[in-house]
Amino acid sequence: MVDELRLKKRQAKEENERRRMEVNQQWKAKLDLEQAKEDRKIMDKNLSNLSGPVLQYYL
């Protein structure tokens, strides 16, 4: 009986840890996506200021 309770408690703890890690990964992915969008905006703005020959150099 005690062993069963310990097992259930351990399984619940493992499940909570798994969920916590999953949420953390989703949060990090969201932040990475937002950062990529910001980087893209900056890059587009910077490239729009370049003239033809200089732009070709960066591409």
The string of pLDDT tens digits covering residues 13-42 is 999 999 999 999 999 999 999 999 998 888
Q: Where are the alpha helices (DSSP H) in the chain?
A: 2-48, 52-58
pLDDT in the model for residue 45: 78
Q: Name the average pLDDT for the chain.
A: 87
Could you tell me the two tokens for 48?
């729009």
E strand or H helix at 51, and its extent? none
pLDDT at residue 1, as a whole number: 81
- Hey, what amino acid is at 47? L
State the pLDDT at residue 31: 96
Q: What's the average model confidence in pLDDT over 37-49?
A: 81
How do the domains of the chain map onto residue ranges? 2-58
CA pair distance 10, 49, nearest whole angstrom: 59
Give the count of beta carbons closer than 10 Å to the beta carbon of residue 44.
9
| pLDDT of the residue at 18 | 97
